[in-house]
Amino acid sequence: MTAGSSFGPGSGSLSCKPETGVSDQFPVGLRVLVVDDDVTCLKILEQMLRRCSYHVTTCSQATAALNVLRERKGCFDVVLSDVHMPDMDGFKLLELVGLEMDLPVIMMSADGRTNLVLRGIRHGACDYLIKPIREEQLKNIWQHVIRKKWNENKEHEHSGSMDDKDRHKRGGDDTDYASSVNDGCDGILTSHKKKRNVKEEDDGEIETDESGGSKKARVVWSVELHQQFVSAVNQLGIDKAVPKRILELMNVPGLTRENVASHLQKFRLYLKRLSGVTQQGAGPNSFCGSMEQSPKLASYGRFEIQALAASGQLPPQTLAAIHAEILGQPSANVGLPVIDHQPLLQPSKCMPMDHVMPYGQTLPSNVTKQISQPAIEDFHSGLGAWHLNNMVGNYGQLGGQNGHDMLLGMLPSQSQSQQPQKQSITVQPSRLVVPAQSSTNFQAVNQPTSFRGSVINYGVDQRSERDVGNRIGGQSGQNSVDNLIETGEKQISFGEAVHVLDQGPLKNLGFVGKKSSSPRWFSAYETISPINDLNHGDNNGRRRVKQEPNVEFLENSKTGGSAVTHRVSQNDLMSVFSE
């Protein structure tokens, strides 16, 4: 057999055509090199690829293919290679191509046995097609080209998600989940990553990502690490922060400039995204919804976050939120509400415009105390406290946008009275109405409600007896929201309380009124909630998000801070991150 027998269109098929159609009609003209010693397959593949409007070059020998690739570097976008070839093993070719040209290589074989596929992946194949190959599969191969380029540009897009430890952990989903509850921060990240992988697996693309990522050492941006990062950025100022300086300031062994650079890029993107919430608000989920309703809201959020970032006032909660955001996909918006609502959380007059300064001022008094230690528990309680002090204003804001909100009129006064005395607020009658209202709103508008449910919970944090009841009411308010989706689970988790919870808002109100100081309910909820929350984590990412504030609250309200609650919050944090 002669080297490099070409079956391309005419004899010129091996010649490099640099004009290959870019951008506008991508992927038309994608330059594909097909290597297969089986000429039947080669012929079919060539025709199929041509039908996909790709520019095809075929080669029946691996060595010849390698020569072609070496001679014409940069003339191919993707390589399709057979696994078994007489002159050179397809894996060898794959390895060489990966080393020398860093092109995406797709392996193909009639042999689809797992160990062989795994070998391909290990050698860095971005995909493994099992013969017979269908046209539909080839139509999609351009994605590997894009993915590769994209990964190169943003090496740390999946930062914290690709390390070996994680890879081994991918075994049992449930056990993994449980264990990550206990091993704190690391577990959170692990679980976060694992969840994402599971998602990707659904698309059948997991191996691809996995192989792409496994070649490079990744940095796990733990909460602490990210805090260091952010404080370094703040120290330098967001505009003047350059990776090198940040790296110096952080002084973390093993961290490279590239790591920091890509994380910084991500961080900047995140800040930018925050400021552009209104425009991009189409995000399918969570609080972007409420943002869209009020451009004002979003823009305040932007001012706030930028002011804070600039002044170094970013409290750990924010860091955590940002962290969550950075680690997560856009869908992991848990962090977003926390941050975006900050301005609104300062409800001096329900006029967020005034709030940039007050925010900064009030912050130390109620939050900084709790952030003195970097421990995770602190981080939670801090978050809780923060919400507690600030939520009411947020609530007022959200209410303000919402036509269905009956309480709108009351809110300013309510928030005014609550804001100054953070601990000793007596619950106003209007509060009791809140659960009912939140459920109504849920039906009317999807997104804000869940938040509102949590608002109620924060109200509870005042620790008056009445508040206990109120909180349960709040919880049930949220539950009735959740129950719209899933009742059965709630019943398991809440046991007795369910009867009340399921009845809907009005009943809840009654419940709140009558049994407002029943500690039994309180404790029942508390002990059970981990499971409850875990279930939620498993079932519905969105709900997980909703639940978060409740549990955070729990953490905070629990004066002793028992082991149970700690676990709850870790668990919850994890579920938050695991989006």
Partner 1 sequence: MNRLLSLLFHQGVLDEQFLQLQQLQDQTSPNFVSEVVTIYFHESEKQLRNLRNLLLDREMWDYVKLGIHLNQLMGSSSSIGAKRVRNICAAFRTAVEQNNRSACMRALEVLEHEYCYLKNKLHELFQIEQQRVLGDAVRYPGVVHQQ
Sole binder of partner 1 in the list 16, 28, 39, 252 (CB under 8 A): 39
**Least distance (Å) between residue 94 CB and partner 1:** 17
C-alpha–C-alpha distance, residues 42 and 36, integer Å: 6
Distance from the first to the final alpha carbon of the chain:
54
420 part of the interface to partner 1, by CB under 8 A: no
Sole binder of partner 1 in the list 34, 48, 117, 326 (CB under 8 A): 48
Burial tier of 240 (Cβ tally within 10 Å: 0-12, 13-18, 19+)? exposed
Sole binder of partner 1 in the list 32, 37, 370, 456 (CB under 8 A): 37
Is the CB of 83 or the CB of 233 nearer to partner 1?
Answer: 83
51 part of the interface to partner 1, by CB under 8 A: yes
**Least distance (Å) between residue 37 CB and partner 1:** 7
82 part of the interface to partner 1, by CB under 8 A: yes
111 part of the interface to partner 1, by CB under 8 A: yes
Site size with partner 1, rule: CB under 8 A:
22
CB 132: neighbour CB atoms within 10 A? 10
Q: Considering only CA atoms, which of 273, 332, 326 is closest in space to residue 301?
A: 273
What does the per-residue mask of binding to partner 1 show for 313-342, with x meaning CB under 8 A? ------------------------------
- Residue 383 makes CB contacts below 8 A (sequence gap 6+) with 317, 320, 338, 552, 556
Output the six-digit token pair for 159: 């930062």
Q: Are strands 55-59 and 127-130 parallel, antiparallel or unpaired?
A: unpaired
Is the CB of 134 or the CB of 216 nearer to partner 1?
Answer: 134
Q: Distances from the Cα of 441 to the Cαs of 445, 498, 549, in angstroms?
A: 6, 21, 18
- Residue 15 makes CB contacts below 8 A (sequence gap 6+) with none
161 part of the interface to partner 1, by CB under 8 A: no
What are the residues facing 143 on neighbouring strands? none
**Least distance (Å) between residue 105 CB and partner 1:** 18
356 part of the interface to partner 1, by CB under 8 A: no
**Least distance (Å) between residue 127 CB and partner 1:** 16
**Least distance (Å) between residue 47 CB and partner 1:** 5
50 part of the interface to partner 1, by CB under 8 A: yes
Residue 189 CA, distance from chain mean position: 11
Q: Could you identify the residue written with the tokens 């959020």?
A: 301
Is the CB of 35 or the CB of 314 nearer to partner 1?
Answer: 35
C-alpha–C-alpha distance, residues 282 and 284, integer Å: 6
Half-sphere exposure of 501 (CA within 13 A, CB side): 28
> Side chain identity at 105, as an amino acid letter?
V
Can you tell me whether residue 227 is helix, strand or coil?
helix
What does the per-residue mask of binding to partner 1 show for 115-154, with x meaning CB under 8 A? ----------------xxxxx-------------------
103 part of the interface to partner 1, by CB under 8 A: no
Write out the residues near partner 1 by the rule CB under 8 A: 37-41, 43-44, 47-48, 50-51, 82, 84, 86, 109-111, 131-135
